[in-house]
Amino acid sequence: MIFSSLIKKKDTLTTLPETATLAEALTVLENTGYRCVPVLDESGKIFRGNIYKMHLYRHKSRNGDMNLPVTALLKNATKFVSIKSAFFSVFFAIRDLPYIAVLDENNQFYGILTHNSLLRVLAEGWNVNNGSYVLTVVAPDERGALMTATKEITRYCQIVNVLSFDPQHSAVKQILFTLPADVSHEKMEKVVKRLTKKGFEVPEVEDLHQGY
């Protein structure tokens, strides 16, 4: 389920009714500075799609009729998720969109989830403010590899976060371990040495003390 705290709710958003004209939509987008806004039906409950400033400019530059209803240039009509959607499934749905519409349990427009919100969650999950070093560990893509690497690291310290990446068509996986803030440089080196001794490659160590 999507964290409700990440969603910008409908009553805080700039939206347009489907009865608005293209000229009215362009005025709203220029005044607010947004690149696009959600368009709702006359009841204000049903999501119809998004209207983009760039499409309005293109239409106007080609001498298009700006008195047409905003529905003439609607985009992303099927781009929405349910408030009950699994959090990580949202990443596949949002892709190149600046935000994705969120519908409530009755399939009515609830609000939007922005790219910035997702990136903030990832940053918090990475624990960049509560970590010391991030170790990139290359491990064979086989059963028990993650458990073994974790066991070796916890000989010296706790682990505050783990991210695993599996490159396509690769026999190895990359695992990013974030170590706690109180881990010293000397202890980090001991961890790296232990991992290397156990057959793991540690090609990169990121110091979270730098630049945060």
Domain boundary among 94, 116, 138: 116
More confident residue, 58 or 168: 58
Tokens of 154: 């916890």
- Examine residue 12 and state whether it is found in any structural domain, yes or no: yes
3-state secondary structure of 141: coil
Which of 189, 140, 184, 131 shows the shortest CA–CA distance to 162? 131
Centre a 10 Å sphere on the Cβ of residue 190 and count the other Cβ atoms it contains: 15
- Examine residue 162 and state whether it is found in any structural domain, yes or no: yes
Q: Are residues 82 and 99 in the same domain?
A: yes
3-state secondary structure of 100: strand
Q: Are residues 101 and 132 in the same domain?
A: no
The mean per-residue pLDDT over the stretch 74-81 comes to 95
| pLDDT given at position 147 | 93
Q: Considering the chain, what percentage of its residues have pLDDT values greater than 90? A: 66
Residue 53: band (very low, low, confident or very high) from pLDDT cuts 50, 70, 90: very high
Strands (DSSP E) found in 19-160: 36-40, 47-52, 80-82, 99-103, 109-114, 131-140
**Could you give the C-alpha distances from 3 to 6, 81, 181, 197, 203, in angstroms and in order?**
6, 13, 27, 41, 35
Domain boundary among 71, 94, 116: 116
Q: Are residues 106 and 138 in the same domain?
A: no
Residue 96 has pLDDT above 90, yes or no: no
Residue 127: band (very low, low, confident or very high) from pLDDT cuts 50, 70, 90: low
pLDDT in tens, 105-117: 999 999 999 988 8
Q: State the angle between helix axes of 185-197 and 145-153 in degrees (0 to 180), rounded to the nearest 10.
A: 140
Q: Are residues 135 and 68 in the same domain?
A: no
Tokens of 43: 């009841």
3-state secondary structure of 169: coil
| pLDDT given at position 115 | 84
- Examine residue 37 and state whether it is found in any structural domain, yes or no: yes
- Average pLDDT, whole number, for the chain? 90
Q: Are residues 41 and 85 in the same domain?
A: yes
The mean per-residue pLDDT over the stretch 176-198 comes to 95
95: domain CATH number is 3.10.580.10
Residue located via tokens 């997702």: 118
- Examine residue 74 and state whether it is found in any structural domain, yes or no: yes
- Examine residue 211 and state whether it is found in any structural domain, yes or no: no
Return the biggest CA–CA distance within the chain. Answer: 71
- Examine residue 178 and state whether it is found in any structural domain, yes or no: yes
Amino acid, res. 64? G
150: domain CATH number is 3.30.70.260
Q: Are residues 56 and 23 in the same domain?
A: yes
| pLDDT given at position 5 | 80
More confident residue, 128 or 135: 135
Q: Which domain holds residue 186?
A: 125-206
Q: Are residues 185 and 134 in the same domain?
A: yes
**HSE (CB half, 13 Å, CA atoms) of 196?**
10
| pLDDT given at position 192 | 97
Find out whether 179 and 157 touch, Cβ atoms under 8 Å: yes
What's this model's pTM, rounded to 2 decimal places? Answer: 0.69
The mean per-residue pLDDT over the stretch 63-70 comes to 98
Q: How many domains does the chain have?
A: 2
Q: Are residues 106 and 157 in the same domain?
A: no
Find out whether 123 and 113 touch, Cβ atoms under 8 Å: no
Residue 129: band (very low, low, confident or very high) from pLDDT cuts 50, 70, 90: low
Q: Are residues 9 and 98 in the same domain?
A: yes
Amino acid, res. 15? T
pLDDT in tens, 133-183: 999 999 887 888 999 999 999 999 999 988 887 665 567 788 999 999 999
- Examine residue 212 and state whether it is found in any structural domain, yes or no: no
Q: Are residues 154 and 80 in the same domain?
A: no
Residue 212 has pLDDT above 50, yes or no: no
Domain boundary among 116, 135, 156: 116
Q: Are residues 99 and 151 in the same domain?
A: no
